[in-house]
Amino acid sequence: MVFTNSIKFWSICLLLLCSIPTAFAQRTITPADEQQISALIYRWNAVLNAEKGVQSDSLYADKVKWYGEEMTSQTVISNIHDFLNKNKQYDQSIVDKIKIQIYDRFDIDKNTDILRVNFVKQAGLTSDKQQYYPAEFLVKKGANGWRIVSETDNITQANQNKDLAYLVAKGKFDGKNSSYAWMTEENPLTGGACLGDEDGSYACQCNLWNSNLKIQPVKIRQCLVGAVETIKDLDGSGRDRVALIPDWWSSAWRVVYLYDIQQGQWIKTMPSFSMHISLQEGTTADALFQPDAQHPGMVKVTDVDIDENSGLPELKVETRKLWELK
Picking from 75-79, 193-197, 283-287, which range would have the lowest pLDDT averaged per residue?
193-197
The predicted pLDDT at position 65 comes to 97
* pTM score, whole prediction: 0.86
Q: Nearest-CA neighbor of 194 among 182, 206, 210?
A: 206
Q: Nearest-CA neighbor of 202 among 18, 3, 13?
A: 18
pLDDT of 5 > 50? The answer is no
The predicted pLDDT at position 147 comes to 97
- Strand pairing report for 145-153 and 60-66: parallel
| Model confidence band, residue 192 (pLDDT cutoffs 50, 70, 90) | confident
Mean pLDDT, to the nearest integer, of 242-265?
92
The four Cα atoms 298, 301, 307, 308 give a dihedral, to 10 degrees, of -20
76-91 confidence digits (pLDDT tens): 999 999 999 999 999 9
Mean pLDDT of the chain: 87
Cα-trace Rg, the chain: 22
pLDDT of 280 > 90? The answer is no
pLDDT of 95 > 70? The answer is yes
Can you give the length of the chain in residues?
A: 326
Q: How far apart are CA 105 and CA 63, in angstroms?
A: 25
298-325 confidence digits (pLDDT tens): 999 999 988 888 888 889 999 999 999 8
Mean pLDDT, to the nearest integer, of 269-275?
93
What is the share, in percent, of the chain residues with pLDDT greater than 70? 88
108-132 confidence digits (pLDDT tens): 566 568 999 999 999 999 888 999 9
pLDDT of 17 > 70? The answer is no
38-64 confidence digits (pLDDT tens): 999 999 999 999 999 898 989 999 999
Q: Are 279 and 315 within 8 A, CB to CB? A: yes
Picking from 6-20, 150-164, 228-242, which range would have the lowest pLDDT averaged per residue?
6-20
Which residue segments constitute the domains of the chain, with CATH numbers given?
Answer: 1-19+161-326 (no CATH), 23-157 (3.10.450.50)
Q: Nearest-CA neighbor of 79 among 106, 99, 60?
A: 60
Picking from 77-86, 147-156, 249-258, 265-274, which range would have the lowest pLDDT averaged per residue?
249-258
Picking from 23-37, 75-89, 261-275, which range would have the lowest pLDDT averaged per residue?
23-37
Contacts for 247 with CB less than 8 Å, ≥ 6 apart:
223, 224, 225, 226, 254
